[in-house]
Structure 1
Amino acid sequence: MINPLPAILVGGPPHAGKTVFLHSLSQALYKRGISHYTIRACPDGEGNWSQESDIETASLIRRNHKGKWPEHFITRVSQNLSRRYLPFLVDMGGKPTEAEQLLFQQCTHAILLLKAEDPASTQAWQYFVEGKELLAKLYSQQYGASELRSLTPIIEGTICNIERGQEIHNEVMDALVEHIARLFEPFGQEEHKPIAYEQAPYEIFNLHTIVPSGEQWYPNMLPQLLTQLSAQSFYFIYGRAPNWVCAAIAGHLEQPFYQFDPRRRWVQPIPLSFSTRQHPEVCTSTKSNADATLLEVDMPSKQIEYIQPEPIPVPTVSTAKGIIISGAIPQWFITALVQLYKSAHIPWIAAYEPRLEKAVVVYSRIDKYHLGDLVAIPKDWNLFKVKS
């Protein structure tokens, strides 16, 4: 059964600018108060974070994937698409094969971002999206002026100068945002969340009351946020925010809490345990100096299953120094890490933020560090260069 919530597949050949295009499209929708979720249905590690980070830093973190997509990755992304609780924008990668048809089946609409000099790819992508409601057929060019050629029956035109780190503002993008906003509005308005708010018996705290949708979070906002949350209360946390915001909430609250996940509705921090073992899908490594331990977490599949047969093992670290957590991990994982290391009496905890190239202190019980402080990463730690 196809989920009735819209899921717009964004497809096209490699290097057409899909990731930059999707980020700009998503930001424009958030600024209009349209809730949605962008899912990367390809295992290369790209995401909104990579568009908001320094190019060199992003290239170190990003995982290049070549060859056939892992079967378990396709299965899990398909499951996430099928049980979505918000409208989705879906980045399908540049070279899908017949094996990825399972993912296409879960989408309701399509946008094609093509290259005029690659007619073979255009033909292939038109075949892949057959049976989907095609919203737009756009051609990406490195230089020139963007041009809107048609609004009906689909949006057609040319988008030029798609550059990493810059939002796209032209009449083609404006027309597309307007059309998608109308499509998503019945399901994703900020002021109406009947699906998102179902099954939430405790108080719902909407993060967008602190930072409106589409606006930027900054570390110095954390103290204000936590004054709004009673440490002894039960909460359901709703809203879009960086991992370090959710990590700070986990460090502050003393009672169980839930987070809204567009793929699973309401979830709690996942069970973890201290162990020297390694989980097959969670690779951890540590480095340390006199002040802190760096915990690097890598999930090669990028789509680890939330429900696990037993707690995921993570390493024990020194309780005489702080810990800096680094890695592209789900929010329900970083909140679990903060809770576990806080219970182990680690003096302070920080989460690495690629956009700032520093770590944000999310919990502290010592005077040296305070909530929202930024911690520099020692150069000799060679962050991310251990990844293949």
Structure 2
Amino acid sequence: MELFPAVAIGGPPHAGKSVLAYSLSQALRARDVQHYVLRAYPDGEGDWANEAQQALVRRIRIKDWGSPRWVEHVSRDILNRHLPLIVDVGGRPTPWQEAILDCCTHFVLLHRDEASRREWKSLAQRHGLALLADLRSELHGTQRVEGQGRVLQGVITGLERGTVASGPTFDALVERLCLLFAYSPEEIRQAHMAQAPVETVVDLARLARALGTEPNRWQPQDLPRVLAYLPERVPLGLYGRGPVWLYAAVATLTPPAPFYQFDVRLGWVGPPALTTGGEGPEG
């Protein structure tokens, strides 16, 4: 399958990039548009950071500057993508961190003023990214679309943590991503399934529907029914969106048979084998 697009979202700090990435993902999921959000900045954020109480998020979120090895791994993941990507690149990439942008294809620019707009537009041009949207981000005010040409231009408002974006500018951006990410979900699924190293593969979305649970909204109370439903001690592959604890619990069913999961960055992977160490000095 052809290499999927990777859309970087960039702009100065506090422009609302993480909230926009989260909101776009929610809108695309509602339309069954296949994609993945890759947070290319090592601050531990995910969907939880926009859904949890913000006071708690501020307490437990850890900011980090990353490392050359981190950038190398993120760049590898983007280049090996198995789905269209939305890439949150952070607000202050250093020159060596900019290598991540070389692996992307398109760019959504959020800016607060003309100076930040020029800086980030120049950055996108320097890395050969096709500009998809050029948007001024304001916390308050009215959204408005100012241009619907090759580049979407306008004002987007309300990108505040703990909220989900909406409005005409946001909707116009969603439409552009839908067109860019216009791949058949079933064809993508079948292509991924065909690569599975085991015969029995469980699609989590279909499993949720079979159990009467909302897909992509797994809760701990669903776990007993999941474990009772799935076979034990047989080679098994797990596919689709789900929390880490769900994947970990299902993995305990298969030993001594192998377990695999589909990672949109790496493809089908198995957990590393654990070995016990030797006896300590005291025997």
Q: TM-score, normalised by structure 1?
A: 0.65
Alignment map for 1:60-75 (pairs within 5 Å): 60-66=59-65, 69-75=66-72
Whole-Å Cα distance in 2 between the matches of residues 192 and 78 of structure 1? Answer: 22
2:189 paired residue number: 193
Higher relative contact order (CA 8 A, sep 6+): 2
Once the two structures are superposed, residues 103-140 of structure 1 have per-residue CA deviations (whole angstroms, 9 ceiling, x without a partner) of 11110111011112xx3221111111112111111111
Letter in 2 for 1:112: L
1:57 paired residue number: 56
Give yes or no for contact 1:35–1:190 (8 Å, CA) kept in 2: no
Runs (4+) of structure 1 exceeding 6 A deviation are none
Once the two structures are superposed, residues 304-358 of structure 1 have per-residue CA deviations (whole angstroms, 9 ceiling, x without a partner) of xxxxxxxxxxxxxxxxxxxxxxxxxxxxxxxxxxxxxxxxxxxxxxxxxxxxxxx
1:248 paired residue number: 249
1:27 paired residue number: 26
- Cα deviation for residue 191 of structure 1 reads 5.9
1:174 paired residue number: 171
2:274 paired residue number: 272
- Structure 1 pair 192–79 and aligned structure 2 pair: CA distance change class (3 A): closer
Determine if the alignment matches structure 1 residue 104 to structure 2 residue 104.
no
Aligned length: 269
Whole-Å Cα distance in 2 between the matches of residues 23 and 190 of structure 1? Answer: 24
- Structure 1 pair 190–173 and aligned structure 2 pair: CA distance change class (3 A): farther
- Structure 1 pair 45–191 and aligned structure 2 pair: CA distance change class (3 A): same
Whole-Å Cα distance in 1 between the matches of residues 115 and 146 of structure 2? Answer: 22
Give yes or no for contact 1:85–1:195 (8 Å, CA) kept in 2: no
- Of 10-19 and 160-169, more deviation after overlay is shown by 160-169
Once the two structures are superposed, residues 189-215 of structure 1 have per-residue CA deviations (whole angstroms, 9 ceiling, x without a partner) of 256424422321412210011347874
Compare the two structures and name the one with the higher helix fraction: 2
- Cα deviation for residue 235 of structure 1 reads 1.6
Letter in 2 for 1:123: R
Alignment map for 1:90-239 (pairs within 5 Å): 90-116=87-113, 119-130=114-125, 131-186=128-183, 189-190=185-186, 192-200=188-196, 201-211=198-208, 215-239=216-240
Secondary structure of the 1:21 match is helix
Secondary structure of the 1:145 match is coil
Secondary structure of the 2:218 match is coil
Whole-Å Cα distance in 1 between the matches of residues 111 and 277 of structure 2? Answer: 48
Give yes or no for contact 2:204–2:215 (8 Å, CA) kept in 1: no
Q: TM-score, normalised by structure 2?
A: 0.87
Alignment map for 1:276-287 (pairs within 5 Å): none
Secondary structure of the 1:236 match is strand
RMSD: 2.1
- Structure 1 pair 74–226 and aligned structure 2 pair: CA distance change class (3 A): same
Whole-Å Cα distance in 2 between the matches of residues 21 and 42 of structure 1? Answer: 15
Once the two structures are superposed, residues 117-172 of structure 1 have per-residue CA deviations (whole angstroms, 9 ceiling, x without a partner) of xx322111111111211111111111111112222222111111122222112121
Give yes or no for contact 1:109–1:132 (8 Å, CA) kept in 2: yes
Letter in 1 for 2:230: L
- Cα deviation for residue 274 of structure 1 reads 5.2
Letter in 1 for 2:250: I
Give yes or no for contact 2:204–2:241 (8 Å, CA) kept in 1: yes
- Cα deviation for residue 30 of structure 1 reads 1.1
Secondary structure of the 1:42 match is coil
Whole-Å Cα distance in 1 between the matches of residues 206 and 228 of structure 2? Answer: 13
5+ long unaligned stretches in structure 2: 279-283
